Structure 1
């Protein structure tokens, strides 16, 4: 299917192609980015709520000439199992663990489109926007947390065009429902911890606001950035530097557990929850190469009043990467935000060029630019 044939497509494909083309996916040049290495994938698997369902999904969807895939909510492939020959073929086109298959980075595909629509989707051959995948057919279905209704990821079966049976789509959908039933019966309710620390300090647990101190927020930032867990000694170094004392850290964690309860685990210290946060969204977007999304989620410096080494380092990395993306893209709103944070001559020069002379902000930027260059 070529872009000119779009009007003849099924509605779900038509809408997906339109979203993909709006995201400037090139059918001839794009390929799925590999975002995570094997060690990082292993860490993500260990913390992912769908890990408990993978044996069931593998058993249900094991068939010749196909692979079974499970992704997270951002389209990162965390598990890929099945026929060895098909897996080798899939690896050549980045249909492999650690790669990202969201619509906004690779265009129309069953996994990415299921994540967007929240429904089961089958994408045949030339319905894939990127021509590299015209030899594949894929069927995917979303899996939701039965306790909260939140999307957890998708399960997908992919295979070469000529080997995929028409009944596979129904089987994948049934397997997703089995996975949800398994989670309802055997998995405890997954807590959701929200950490919005860009430009301020706001947090919540399962929708309930948390009253955190700055030190609480620093501890949670460190644990969110290290989902596999940290020892008291490691936390002491990240929070206080060389002067850090593990005994002090343990006392901080004891006070924090009074608010978090069983969400804060020990040996090592780690968070037993789905952790969401604005700084994590920015971090993920940057790692996926989506500068525009990173800019949209960036609302200011990470915990601006914090002097903890782990926060200072992450704050500097995020600010530098988002600033670079804003300069390269000419993102007016983002550049104005950076200009408010200091006399950044390069940002001011870019704004001076972007703002029309008739815009009242142009005169203000010109005045600040002159001072910055003095």
Structure 2
């Protein structure tokens, strides 16, 4: 977050504020000024002027009802970290009386304020209060709204604000993202009287964001741990593979299958396709879901894409699951596909892959690694594509498998021979 400071260390704040205010008046009026706005500020002023705002006539602040603010707080993921953010700001003990912490949601609505009663009262006169929408379109250039628009940390000092009524203020803001998904959750802002701007504020905001995102990740891990514990009794009665996930599809525990960190979001009554398990049923319990293979499920559809780097994808499901395959794993899967329901023994695979039957140990190891990815898609004794799965091969521009780049460049001795004699499937 470095490099977004509005004021250089050692600057005379009072004198610099006067220069910025003069610059603001000249530039907004279309005149010349020896001091030019920073690029970030210039971009924001252009947007605000295009939106029809006037610097000396602030727009009427629209403030949400208390019930609406409370609802947004309850629904906000940031509720879990507001207390930690407040404690972080209190670490600036010498200047805390001059600071106000503000947390807004992803729409720029102020949800929480903490800090000096005097500063909060001054903020009230600007409409900078809980329930107010503090976006650029609503209140002009400001750290919260500009950080939302620029998707980056922002610090503004005095005359860099568009509205003249905000010139007595400094404000520093940065976005907070969901560490699981990268989604924007809101903005953390520290504001106060312009002439009390402390050099540590930018570092404090940056630290607060890192703290909040780390705490959110810890809360996520704790929820998965609780879900894992709660699922114990249910898993004790389950035979066969199963996966436990939360309401967002994050995997808390897996039995009998190597599950990804996250799967498609389960829905009651809706089938979900998981790699290694095929079509599953979702059973809700507590704050999560138990996913198990559906014995009544139709055949799962898979595609081995050889038009470029080998890729396997699930078709017809909601998960959109896909995974890159090594050339060796793609060769094994292609050989089993060509062998049909009869499959191949360990010795036959060894002959096809290495040209002799002496590499049975290596074959078993490779198939074992492949089954960690595909699970029940592969059957054994002999190795084959399971009856519950259907595999097709995508070749790209090649009309026949033997003419594809993958087969032409393979070092597997038995694969070219099979492709030359077997019909394309």
The alignment's TM-score, normalised by the length of structure 2, stands at 0.45
Q: Is 1:151–2:207 an aligned residue pair?
A: no
Report the equivalent of 2:233.
none
For residues 41-70 of structure 1, what are the alpha-carbon distances to aligned partners after superposition, in whole Å with 9 as ceiling and x for unaligned? 112111100001100100001212111000
* 1:129 paired residue among 159, 162, 168: 162
Q: Is 1:53–2:114 an aligned residue pair?
A: no
For residues 170-195 of structure 1, what are the alpha-carbon distances to aligned partners after superposition, in whole Å with 9 as ceiling and x for unaligned? 211111111001111123599679xx
8 Å contact kept, 1:31–1:94: no
Secondary structure at 1:8 match in 2: coil
8 Å contact kept, 1:70–1:156: yes
Tell me how large the CA RMSD over aligned residues is. Answer: 3.1
Alpha carbons of structure 1 residues 208 and 31: separation in structure 2 relative to 1, 3 Å: same
Alpha carbons of structure 1 residues 207 and 75: separation in structure 2 relative to 1, 3 Å: farther
CA distance in 2, matches of 1:191, 1:99: 31
1:92 to partner: Cα distance: 1.2
Q: Is 1:77–2:110 an aligned residue pair?
A: yes
CA distance in 1, matches of 2:50, 2:178: 31
Report the equivalent of 1:96.
129
Report the equivalent of 2:119.
86
CA distance in 2, matches of 1:209, 1:42: 29
8 Å contact kept, 1:32–1:95: no
CA distance in 2, matches of 1:180, 1:51: 12
Alpha carbons of structure 1 residues 48 and 159: separation in structure 2 relative to 1, 3 Å: same
1:209 to partner: Cα distance: 10
* 2:62 paired residue among 34, 40, 55: 34
1:35 to partner: Cα distance: 2.9
CA distance in 2, matches of 1:38, 1:146: 29
The structure with higher relative contact order (CA 8 Å, sep 6+) is 1
Detail structure 1 runs of 4+ shifted over 4 Å in the superposition: 188-193, 206-213, 257-264
Report the equivalent of 1:180.
213
Equivalences for residues 153-302 of structure 1 within 5 A: 153-187=186-220, 188=223, 262=287
Deviates more, 1:126-135 or 1:7-16: 7-16
Q: Is 1:120–2:153 an aligned residue pair?
A: yes
8 Å contact kept, 2:141–2:162: yes
Report the equivalent of 1:108.
141
1:33 to partner: Cα distance: 2.2
8 Å contact kept, 2:247–2:287: no
1:8 to partner: Cα distance: 1.1
Deviates more, 1:183-192 or 1:24-33: 183-192
Greater share of strand? 2
Which protein is bigger by CA-based radius of gyration?
2
Query: Which structure 2 segments of 5+ residues have no match?
Result: 1-23, 91-95, 225-245, 250-262, 271-281, 290-425
**Alignment size in residue pairs:** 210
Query: Which structure 1 segments of 5+ residues have no match?
Result: 194-205, 214-256, 265-374
